[in-house]
Amino acid sequence: MAQQVVFDVGGERCAGYLRRSDRQPGPCVVLCTGFGGTQDTPALLATAEDFTAGGFHTLTFDYRSFGESGGHPRQLVSIEGQLADIAAAVACARGLDGVDPARIALWGTSLGGGHVVSAAARDHEIAAVIAQVPFNGFPRRVEGRSTLSTLRLLAVMAEDWGRERLHLPPRYIPAVGAEGALAVMTGAGAQRAVAGMVSPTWRNEVAPRALIEMMRYRPVDFAPRVGCPLLVSLGADDAETTPDRARALAQAAPGGEVLEYPVSHFDFYTEDVRRRVVADQLAFLQRVLP
């Protein structure tokens, strides 16, 4: 049964849920969502429950401006803000009854997969990291996006950035849309993922100004400072977080290793692939956090 926990970040409220395993005290996995994600989407909930059944406490949480957490404007991704949220979630986990503070692991997917590498580089007490289809810079070519749709996206990013400077509300666009649509992620695979992201809090909209910050974000720059074991789970057919960029994270980290699957980015959220990947991730955690 999940127990709600609340922690403060910069004077704003972050909401999370702790699921306890039978191990007391035991290791804890802090799970970090992807771009625009919330902790109550089915794939993330199922992964947390699988880790708990495998003998690990789990802590899920919403970044500020998303889901059950506070923060305004809503639906705004901030790289430094989300890294601060992860650090606060880890500090919260370390203080919970029954959690071994020396055995905190980070798990992240997509943008969260890049975040956990950056977060572990800053916190050398992290015991293990799992980066699933991790963001490590945008691909050179985006699946499902023409030159014209790319120009439209760049224009709306600039518009939203300008609105921020004028203290106006964001100019929201969908996080996920059909091929050719004005959205952050497009294509059939992205739309299939949306169909499975039914939750009380997830909203298919984001402030596109975040993409400007993401253009400069390279978690591989931090990977050499990750001192704990790092598992990168990547998709051989991933067009969103391409396998070469994901593999570079493991190659740059002293304790990095890779598991590759013959699937695309959004396949990781389908139940059959998710179960196979999580079984391998559990085996990794049980090996490095016995």
Domain-wise residue ranges, the chain: 2-140+217-288
pLDDT (0 to 100) of residue 52: 98
Q: What is the dihedral of CA 132, 268, 77, 190, to 10 degrees?
A: 150
pLDDT at 156: 96
What Rg, from alpha-carbon coordinates, does the chain have?
18
Is 17 in a helix, a strand, or coil?
strand
The class (CATH top level) of 2-140+217-288 is: alpha beta
Question: What's the pLDDT score for residue 254?
Answer: 97
State the pLDDT at residue 143. 58
Confidence of residue 33 (pLDDT cuts 50, 70, 90): very high
Distance CA 252, CA 239 (A): 21
What rounded mean pLDDT belongs to the chain? Answer: 94
Model pLDDT for residues 133-187, shown as the tens digit of each residue: 999 998 876 655 678 888 899 999 999 999 999 999 999 999 988 888 899 988 7
| pLDDT, position 141 | 65
pLDDT of residue 24: 86
For residue 138, give the amino acid letter. Answer: F
**Tokens 């905190």 sit at which residue?**
104
Please state the rounded mean pLDDT for residues 267-282.
97
The answer to whether the CB of 16 falls within 8 A of the CB of 88 is no
> pLDDT digit string (tens) for 251-274?
999 999 999 999 999 999 999 999
- At 215-252, the pLDDT tens digits run 999 999 999 999 999 999 999 999 999 999 999 999 99
pLDDT at 258: 98
CA distance 121 to 173: 32
pLDDT of residue 118 exceeding 80, the answer is yes
**pTM of the entire structure?**
0.96
The yes-or-no verdict on residue 207 having pLDDT over 90 is yes
Is residue 199 over pLDDT 60?
Answer: yes
List, in sequence order, every residue forming a beta bridge with 32; answer none if it has no partner.
108
In this prediction, residue 69 carries a pLDDT of 98
pLDDT-derived band at 59 (thresholds 50, 70, 90) equals: very high
At 73-91, the pLDDT tens digits run 999 999 999 999 999 999 9
pLDDT at 61 exceeding the cut of 70: yes
H/E stretch holding 16: strand 12-19
> Does residue 277 have a pLDDT over 70?
yes
